[in-house]
Amino acid sequence: MKHLLPLALAATLAAQGAGAVQIEVAYAYSSVFDPTFERIMQAFATAHPDIEVTFRATYEDYEDATNTILREAVANTLPDVSFQALNRQAILVERGIAKPLDPYIAAETGFDAAGYHQAMLDLSTFGGKVYGLPFSVSTPIGFYNMDILRAAGIKTVPQSWDQVIEACRAIRATGRQDALFWHWNISGNWLLQAAMWSQGVPMIKDGRLNMDNPEGLKALETAQAIFRDCGMKNLSGADASKQFASGELGMFFSSTAYVGFVDRSKTGSWDFVTGPYPGIGGAPQALPAGGNAAMLTSASDDPEVRKAAWEFIKFTTSGEGAAAVALTTGYIPPNKAANALLMDSFYAQNPNKLTAANQLPLLSEWFAYPGDNGLAVTQLIEDSLEAILTGDATDMEALRDDMVEEVNGLLPH
């Protein structure tokens, strides 16, 4: 379901002056980012009363964001600014939908001093040109209801998936069935990529699916053990996050983005703690960078519209705008200036949001599957994981081999 603009945000926009330059903006994940944009717009409307921002219906998820903007490009109904997943930017660049930001960056005084982390900026750089500014960056983390864990005799958060599965058994032995949810169906096969990266192996290599190896088999066997031994239900991530926030779920593994949601929605006085993402056979060697970037997708010929779109992109990704990401979600601001605003007291008072920031040295590529079939590949892999969850697939080596063959058949040769 797509969500309409929140009423509070609509009221903020309505207060802007007549005759302002009008731009349209689109983003995904209403439940995560609505509070972020409400906060941003309170400041942006004051700083830029000459720019009127209209938010389109929210993309359901990152796949929907990509599919929608590809359709809008054909219909010539593109928004001026679109927030797209870090791993979906390439196709918009290849199709000429995203416009390079270099001319606007070059015209800015002291842009480098705005403090973008170079590693994060590189995620949006193609052919030496910058096509997006990172808006939110995430790593996968563990969410724990310590009351449930302690009742099962577990005093510290698990550090590996073997320990997670042992914790599941202990929780279920107390009579509680809802021990865990691992967000296997999150956008872009992100957590399967995490299972590969945590072993130090990229999921895509030389344009092919790189799972026909022991690490690929181990990733699928780990998923099978999580599903089977933890008795995991087939839920959406949104439903699982609500169940966790209600205090009914022992462990939840997903994006740090959900920290803000849990903080806002948590019912009861139980002890909520986050922890580093578990590794396979030890601490993770690397983790995929999640999140999204602000991209200039305007089809307008009016230079004032494009300049206004740039002002919005710049504001939302630097300083005060980027700080709002951390304040309202659990994402890491991709900007040193924003982090400087937060480090003195915010993370000390919000240690659950510091977990992801501490994993920044592990950030690695969140792979986009190359070619026109990228979204189909994402779905094929998701279907394979669901077959494990439902018990339709029991032989992980056979499943891996079939998945590798089918995926590579869809990728460009």
How far is it, in rounded angstroms, from Cα 307 to Cα 313?
10
Residue type, 85: A
Provide the pLDDT for residue 360. Answer: 85
Provide the pLDDT for residue 114. Answer: 59
Q: Is the pLDDT of residue 222 over 80?
A: yes
Whether 359 contacts 399, CB under 8 Å: no
Provide the pLDDT for residue 331. Answer: 87
pTM of the model: 0.86
Whether 244 contacts 181, CB under 8 Å: yes
Strands 204-205 and 208-209: antiparallel
218, two tokens: 């181990």
- How does residue 11 score in pLDDT terms, banded at 50, 70 and 90? very low
Provide the pLDDT for residue 122. Answer: 81
Which stretch of DSSP H or E encloses residue 310?
Answer: helix 303-317
Q: Please, what are the domains in the chain?
A: 7-138+290-364 (3.40.190.10), 140-288+369-410 (3.40.190.10)
Name the DSSP letter for residue 112: G
Whether 213 contacts 202, CB under 8 Å: no
Q: Is the pLDDT of residue 253 over 80?
A: yes
